[in-house]
Amino acid sequence: MKNLKKILKQYFNVAVSVDNVVFGFDADGLKVLLIFRGSEPFTGSWALPGDLISPEMDLEYSAEKILKQLTGLDQVYMEQIQTFGSVDRHPFGRVFTIAYFALIKVENYHPQAASWAKDVAWFKVTEIPKLPFDHREILEYARRLLKNRIRTQPLVFELLPKYFTLTALQFIHESILEEEFDVRNFRKKILSSGIIEETGKLQKNVTHRPAMLYRYNASKAKQLGFEGGILQ
Amino acid sequence: MKNLKKILKQYFNVAVSVDNVVFGFDADGLKVLLIFRGSEPFTGSWALPGDLISPEMDLEYSAEKILKQLTGLDQVYMEQIQTFGSVDRHPFGRVFTIAYFALIKVENYHPQAASWAKDVAWFKVTEIPKLPFDHREILEYARRLLKNRIRTQPLVFELLPKYFTLTALQFIHESILEEEFDVRNFRKKILSSGIIEETGKLQKNVTHRPAMLYRYNASKAKQLGFEGGILQ
DNA sequence: CCAAAAGTGTTTAAATTACACCCATGG
DNA sequence: CCATGGGTGTAATTTAAACACTTTTGG
């Protein structure tokens, strides 16, 4: 048994981190949240909000806690996406990183840099600065995943405010899928799916005809088996 | 810098393992490959073929190597699926495990127990023995994933022999999706998709009308954008 | 000639696509 | 009254679903 422990020691000397790809959405389109690193390595560069996991903490909990510590974001939709494990991806040693994606309603949350994050900002997915580690690869992986999922899961409602217009719903689909849809057909499809409902409320303070506001009906979506999706 | 290293030390004392969910398919339906453990912990139980990763090895490479070492299987279709990281999932310490699924053509490969695996066998997915660690959870996750993917990616051809009948192709879909299809409609859909082609060959030594053998046309599938799937 | 599985077409219903104009509001 | 985006319907095409009998082989 002593012998066994000795053998095992050679394995118990790596670290594991979490990196979060936080997506948000506003009038400009799809955004990703980055932090400005105030800690080694790569101090002074923008990066995905991520950190090493303390060995005594559960994985899911770590992912949430790390995000909260660096950006203040709490209670957001998160999902594990993939683990990246190249030998040389971290200069301090062998670090496997488990990537998560998170979707947030930009209007409801106001990220604030904390801990060793010196700044935090939204970047358009088309205007991402140079990123350290393999964060670029992780980000692109997350984008592809989001694109694939969006057709078959009602994820967009995590990105939109509680009340939203059909135009916004269409725009978010078009932004993520990089594809345009016919207005009438899009509306027909969404409305006939039954997963969103009218609220009777109207947009205010707009310089044009105000749009009707809709709301996601989660219970109906579930009842209809909507992990199966919106489009397609 | 000394100080930094000291702080980091507390993180670099966990281990990472790989667990492989190897699916195969034969006349009985969908199978999973398990090994009989001849090593601590859980010596003497059937488990997913998996092992700790050596810190100096890349992740993808480790996954392949571990599978080969325990079962002899080489050059199989593998894909990372999810990482499991509960604090207490391994009795020897904090071990994150990265689950992979693999799909193999049962007829072409003959797994053989090696290293500390004392035996290896196929189990029907409906008749799985008690598994150690969180292997049951991992296996169920993999099954769900396979079920979701099979509709939108041409994965079944990794499970079928090179030449196969349309009946076999339909049966594998039905087994994985736990749903039945109309023979005529199924054939129409598959054939009109263009991703499989006739070979002119016929089944031999069967006690009924021999079926035409077909072959997957990978290049055509790719050209048609078939990461997008077979059914639906 | 029997058993066992292979193979094949048509009709109906549902879903998807293409397409152009009027409406309501603020400035 | 103008600019801006909101909102609406129909016809044509494509795709999916339902459904039953004949064929070929080995034993």
pLDDT digits (tens, 9 = 90+) for B170-218: 999 999 999 999 999 999 999 999 999 999 999 998 999 999 999 999 9
> Which nucleotides in chain D lie closer than 7 A to a protein CB?
3-10, 16-20, 23-27
- CB of A168 closer than 8 Å to CB of A218: no
Residue with tokens 């009924």, as numbered in its chain: B208
Q: Which of B14, B25, B17 is nearest to B138 (CA)?
A: B17
CA pair distance A19, B60, nearest whole angstrom: 19
Q: What's the residue count for chain A? A: 232
Q: Which amino acid is at B173?
A: H
Please report the DSSP string for B165-230 in residue order.
-HHHHHHHHHHHHT----HHHHHHHHHHHTSEEEEEEE--S-SSPPPEEEEE-HHHHHHTTTTS-S
What tens digit of pLDDT does each residue of B104-134 get?
A: 999 999 999 999 999 999 999 999 999 999 9
CA pair distance A125, A141, nearest whole angstrom: 12
- CB of B184 closer than 8 Å to CB of B214: no
**Stated in angstroms, how far is A167 CA from D4 C1'?**
14
Nearest nt (C1') from A184 Cα? D8
| pLDDT tens for chain A, residues 1 to 232 | 557 777 778 999 999 999 999 999 998 899 999 999 999 899 999 999 999 999 999 999 999 999 999 999 999 999 999 999 999 999 999 999 999 999 999 999 999 999 999 999 999 999 999 999 999 999 999 999 999 999 889 999 999 999 999 999 999 999 999 999 999 999 999 999 999 999 999 999 899 999 999 999 999 888 877 654 444 4
Please write down the long-range contacts of B196-204, taking CB distance under 8 Å and 24 or more positions apart. Answer: B196/B169, B199/B163, B201/B163, B203/B165
Residues 171-210 of A with CB under 7 A from strand D: 182-185, 187-188, 207-210
Q: Do A85 and B58 touch (CB under 8 A)?
A: yes
Q: Do B96 and A16 touch (CB under 8 A)?
A: yes
